Amino acid sequence: METKTAEKSGNERQQLWLDAWFDPVVNLHAFSGGICLAQDKLLVGDLSGALKVFHNGKVQASIRLNAVPSAVCSYAETAASGDGPGPTLVAVACGPSVKIFRNLKPYFKFTVPAAKISQAETDIWNKLSSGSIEVGRACAMLREQSNVSQRSLDLLALETDPDRQQRFLAEELDAAALAEPLPSCITCMGVLPKRDRKDESEGSPCEGTLVLGTESRKILFLDAQSRQVVKTVTLESVPVYIAISGSKDVEYRVVVACRDSRIYSIRNGDLVRNCIEMESPICGGLVRIGRDIIFACVDKTLHSYHVKGRKNWSLSLPEGITNLTAFRCARRGAEGCLVALRSGEVRLYVDKTLMGSIAPPKAGVSVTGMVFGQFSREQDALVSLYTSGAVSVKMLKRTAVLDASKAPEPGPPPEQDIPLAVPKKTKLYVEQTQREREQAVEMHRSFQHGLCKLRYLTASSYLRLFQTAGVANAQLYTSSHHHVGRADDRKPRLNMSVAVLGLGPQFRVTFDIENLAAIPLRGASASLSFDREHFHVDAPFLELPALIPQASQSFHIDLHALVPGTESPPLQLCIVKEPATLLVAEVQMPIVEV
Amino acid sequence: MASPAFLAMSRFRRRRYEECVDLCSEILAENPYDKAIWLLKTQALTAMTFIDDSDLEELGIADAVMDDNATASMPRPGTSLNGDNASGKGSSLDRVMRPMSNAGRPNSGFVRPSTQNGMRPGTGETPGSRAALESAMRKTGSSRPGTSRPVTALGRHVRLGTASMRAESDGPFIDVSRMDLQKYAHRPTLARALCEFLLYHDHNARKALELAAEATSACNFEDWFWKSRLGKCYYLLGLYRDAEQQFKSSLRTQQSVDTFLDLGKVYLRLDQPQNALDAYAQALEAFPGSTAVLTAKARTYEMMRDGDQSLRAFKDVLRHDPSHVEAIASLGAHYFYSDQPEIALRFYRRLLEITQSTESASGSARSYASTELWNNVALCCFHSGQYDMTMRCFENALASADDSNMADVWFNVGHVGVSLGDLGFAYQCFKVAVSIDPQHVEAYNNLGVLEVRKGNQEDAAADFAQARSAGSFAYEPCFNGALLAYKRGDFPTSLRLAEASRVLFSDHPETLELVEMLRAKLV
């Protein structure tokens, strides 16, 4: 019943989206930052080191980049005259530089200025180049430095691969190269709009400037022509995700998630003092919705904070989150976020209400990157890339209801509020507890006395088992977890179960023997002792084959009952290995019926 | 000096049957044609060996395995006694709450023949197959030697008949094979006594059927007594459809509690519990407040695993008969398993009082069922916090226990050990339990769990395997074995055992989770 309703609503949710384009073999691999929608084109900075441009479901251009792109953005060039936006530019961050394309042709390249290297680090490199210290020692020393240059980072990153490290050193230890510091890599990139774009037509890229986050823990603001750095903000950790809101002319805020699980924000170029600190690392992305920041952590949680640092809510999801992207549907006034889970499912959350989900194209693939926005004529399109290299474009249905208040109640299912039919504590119980309270000492004493006696009785019964040897591998229970049995693994230990088959006068005693020891047991035999007045047995003695450890073997001995209709004394089945009897089982025979 | 005939009748009324029979024999030796004395002796002999057959007797192996009355192998829920194990969910007979008996049914509060063994072989076995036969045989052979099941239900009656015949020193009192039944059929009084004698003393259903058939035709098929006896004979011979017809016809002539109960029994044998319940409802209309019918109704609900209805019926029984042992015991069990041990304790104490008073009245040294009763009282005391009484009751239980129930008492003592956290004590108890009853599934299962805690995984696996081979009704050893195999990395074994556990208890959430996890890993 319950599962049925859940399925039904699941189906309803899936109908939020229409398939626009799906290509399973396009072989695109990129993260969310590397996907960009520019009017009717889809730009993907593929991890193979190429910028691929898709138009109408076909590759329009593929531009080699000679480096792995980390982020792709598109924006409009600020026109020199100042009236209206200029031509659209595409910025691709690869390594330490940003390559800017105009009309899909290389236009300009900006390289991050290299940071000054600290004296201590320079010393280490000098020593390394002169050969006075070896690589391993140098790495250890570099690791102790609080802030090292890109070159040192590269060296440390290659530590697990000594061959490549040696090759890297051979290149870098050149004195000329050493003198020139390496610029640090760009980790994330965003566009800061020049002015508020409320009145402008949707879809066309806005004028803006680039904001870069680098491996040297800096946020760089470039000028309109992307020629030089206007402003530099230094953070305490390396930025990984960046979200920008507002505009340069009025007021702006840049929110940055860093590798130290903190979220910093920069307001009008100044670092705001307070930051949001999470317990587990931030993953998947960072989304600005209105005045809220939404982000995910690796502990399968999704969080929303007010931009000033107050927590709104957090959700615990069933699986790890791989990607997060903003969902803004201006026509319906709905804002939220799309969350991709490790299973490949993509969920749409408006506020904290789950509105719908998209199943992965096939089992076992998950989303590597996704972007929501205007694509060609479709205003609300979702582009997602999968681990299998597939690309999928979905459109939001026009009839989709995205009102969070009309969605089914979030939170625990209504069944949870139905109380369990646990009977109430009766008056009798209360009276009895009253007695317990009043006569606690006497009761305890009496109980301990009884327990003591019963323990004694148990222990003596247990001891009797050893003496009669009726129980296989009887051993004292030690509550310590340390394994006592190992030492005497050479001693044969058997487990046997006996059953009697038949109605009489013919019976068959079958017994399964399992060797519990670690070594095979050879030369054992089974013998059946019985009352000759009652039974006749052709072969009461059975040579057993080698008993292999952990395998149960079955044997049988046939009996012929001589006296019908009476109870007979029990048989004894012994497993013997000279000189000791390993096991004795007593078998009670049923009354002969026929 | 009273007349010997009067004395004999007086003794019969005072239920001193043996003396009555002796006296009658003396009189008959003088005058073999004294019909009154012959009648009296027949009745006395019948009364001596009379058994209450209103309850369903246990099914013989052959009846169970070679059953051709079974209709649907997948009955609709609530229409069969062989429903899947999941039914009874939410009620007090829920599998999670109440342990299973050997027969794979929820433990009842009162042991009756049909609660001991399975109604029919397990659902997984097709009747008549070799596996079914073997499992039925195994049950007789190994589980409780000495108390084996008869091959057929009729077989047991034959055995009883020969036993009662042997008791007589100078040949059988009535040699039916040489009797002219037609002659007796025209003498209603004698014929009735003879019929009862054949049924309850000789257990000779075939001859009784002959006599009843003659008699019923002699009275133009109008006597309800003969029709109901015909039904009884057909029932004993396994001709359930004929029996049903006769009972119905008898009820049309004259309604009687016995006939209703017999009709219900026929329906239960045919696996039609709803019809049986209808019959009981009719009986209650005709005889409101009949405890026998109410009890039968409660039992039927219990067999159908409808705990709430069964409970209601038992409460009804108790309202009409405040010292009805079965009702008290069943209600006690119900309250114990629905987390109200303090109320269960009240019921069991009441039982203890009843049995002790009957004990002192009859003067017998040992009251019946006292081991189980002490054991139950001990458990109730322990769980309702009356610790000072617990151990004393267990001691009493152990002192009065015999081989058939001692293992269960030790098992329960072991449970108390587990609750106290004294695992060494518990371990010893379980070991003692399995030494007394090597087929004690639960004790083996718990031993396995304790071995896992100790870190002896091989021993634990062996214990679980032992528990599985000892009883095919419990899902716990399968699930525990599966979990252990999973932890040891043996996924195929784990999946096999988890599937077995799912067959036994299809709603067990942990099993389902494990199966799903393993499927995802393996498939």
In sequence order, what are the residues at sequence separation of 6 or more whose Cβ sits closer than 8 angstroms to the Cβ of residue B225? B192, B250
Residue contact B145–A588, C-beta within 8 A? yes
- Spatial contact of A151 and A125, defined as CB atoms under 8 Å apart: yes
Pick the most confident of A195-209, A234-248, B112-126: A234-248
CA angle centred on A444, ends A439 and A450, rounded to 5°: 130
Peptide bond into A505 cis (omega under 30): yes
Minimal Cβ distance to B428: which of A462, A473, A500: A462
The CA distance from A240 to the nearest CA of chain B, in Å, is 34
Minimal Cβ distance to B454: which of A426, A453, A481: A481
Nearest residue in chain B measured CA to CA from A442: B388
Alpha carbon distances (Å) from B101 to A509, B95, B110, B120: 26, 11, 12, 14
Query: 3-state DSSP call for residue A115?
Result: coil
Minimal Cβ distance to A446: which of B388, B423, B427: B388
Minimal Cβ distance to A443: which of B343, B387, B395: B387
Question: pLDDT-derived band of residue B92, with 50, 70 and 90 as boundaries?
Answer: low
- Spatial contact of A395 and A381, defined as CB atoms under 8 Å apart: yes
Choice between A560 and A177, residue whose per-residue pLDDT is larger:
A560
Alpha carbon distances (Å) from A367 to A96, A373, A397: 27, 17, 21
A505 in reach of chain B (CB within 8 A): no
Alpha carbon distances (Å) from A455 to A488, B7, B415: 28, 59, 13
Partners of A465 on chain B (C-beta within 8 Å) are: 431-432, 435
3-state secondary structure B323-352: CCHHHHHHHHHHHHHCCCHHHHHHHHHHHH
Question: pLDDT-derived band of residue A338, with 50, 70 and 90 as boundaries?
Answer: very high
Two tokens, residue B281:
């409802």
Q: What are phi and psi for residue B74, nearest 5 degrees?
A: -120, 75
- How confident is the model at residue B31, as a pLDDT? 85
Residue contact A458–B429, C-beta within 8 A? yes
Peptide bond into A410 cis (omega under 30): no
pLDDT tens, residue by residue, B97-107: 676 665 556 66
Which of A458, A475, A478, A571 to mutate against chain B (most B CBs within 10 Å)? Answer: A458
Residue contact A589–B145, C-beta within 8 A? yes
Nearest residue in chain B measured CA to CA from A457: B395
Minimal Cβ distance to B385: which of A421, A433, A514: A433
Is the predicted pLDDT of residue A484 greater than 50, yes or no?
no
Residue contact A477–B142, C-beta within 8 A? no
Residue contact B141–A502, C-beta within 8 A? yes
Q: Is the ipTM of this complex over 0.85?
A: no
Minimal Cβ distance to A426: which of B340, B395, B432: B340
Choice between A333 and B193, residue whose per-residue pLDDT is larger:
B193
d(CA B106, CA B94): 8
d(CA B64, CA B149): 11
Question: pLDDT-derived band of residue A4, with 50, 70 and 90 as boundaries?
Answer: very low
Residue contact B338–A423, C-beta within 8 A? yes
Is B297 a member of any domain? no
Is B80 a member of any domain? no
**DSSP state at residue A423:** P
Is B34 a member of any domain? yes
Is B350 a member of any domain? no
In sequence order, what are the residues at sequence separation of 6 or more whose Cβ sits closer than 8 angstroms to the Cβ of residue B348? B329, B332, B373, B376, B377, B380
The CA distance from A27 to the nearest CA of chain B, in Å, is 27
**DSSP state at residue A417:** G
Question: pLDDT-derived band of residue B269, with 50, 70 and 90 as boundaries?
Answer: confident
Residue contact B151–A497, C-beta within 8 A? no
- Spatial contact of B125 and B157, defined as CB atoms under 8 Å apart: no
Contact pairs from chain A to chain B, CB under 8 Å: 141
- The CATH architecture of the domain made up of A494-587 is Sandwich (2.60)
Two tokens, residue A463:
């001891």
**DSSP state at residue B176:** G
Residue contact A593–B138, C-beta within 8 A? no
**Axis crossing angle, helix B257-269 with helix B224-236, rounded to the nearest 10:** 30
Bridge-based pairing of strands A525-529 and A506-515 is unpaired
Bridge-based pairing of strands A208-214 and A262-267 is unpaired
Q: Domain range spanning residue B13? A: 1-48
Contacts by B34-42, CB closer than 8 A, 24 or more apart: B34/B5, B35/B190, B36/B5, B37/B5, B37/B8, B38/B190, B39/B189, B39/B190, B39/B193, B40/B5, B40/B8, B40/B9, B40/B12, B41/B173, B42/B173, B42/B174, B42/B193, B42/B194, B42/B196, B42/B197
Is the predicted pLDDT of residue A408 greater than 90, yes or no?
no
Minimal Cβ distance to B388: which of A447, A461, A516: A447
- Within B363-402, where are the H helices? 370-383, 387-400
CA angle centred on A401, ends A400 and A402, rounded to 5°: 110
Question: pLDDT-derived band of residue B140, with 50, 70 and 90 as boundaries?
Answer: very low
Nearest residue in chain A measured CA to CA from B414: A458
Is the predicted pLDDT of residue B508 greater than 80, yes or no?
yes
- Spatial contact of B437 and B407, defined as CB atoms under 8 Å apart: yes
Burial state string for A95-112 with b = 16 or more CB within 10 A and e = fewer than 16:
bbbbbbbeeeeebeebeb
**Burial class of residue B504, CB neighbours in 10 A (0-12, 13-18, 19+):** buried
Residue contact B395–A457, C-beta within 8 A? yes
The CA distance from A414 to the nearest CA of chain B, in Å, is 18
Residue contact B342–A591, C-beta within 8 A? no
Residue contact B388–A451, C-beta within 8 A? no
Is the predicted pLDDT of residue B33 greater than 60, yes or no?
yes
Partners of B458 on chain A (C-beta within 8 Å) are: 516, 550
A461 in reach of chain B (CB within 8 A): yes
Nearest residue in chain B measured CA to CA from A484: B456
CA angle centred on B326, ends B320 and B330, rounded to 5°: 105
Count of domains for chain B: 1
- How confident is the model at residue A221, as a pLDDT? 92
Is B36 a member of any domain? yes
Choice between B371 and A264, residue whose per-residue pLDDT is larger:
A264
Which DSSP string do the residues of A173-238 spell out, in sequence order?
A: TSHHHHHSPPPPPEEEEEEEESS--SSSPSSSPPBEEEEEEETTSEEEEE-TTSSSEEEEEE-SS-
Residue contact A477–B454, C-beta within 8 A? yes
Two tokens, residue A206:
């806005």
Closest CA to A191 of A74, A51, A290: A74
The CA distance from A523 to the nearest CA of chain B, in Å, is 23
What is the number of residues in chain A? 594
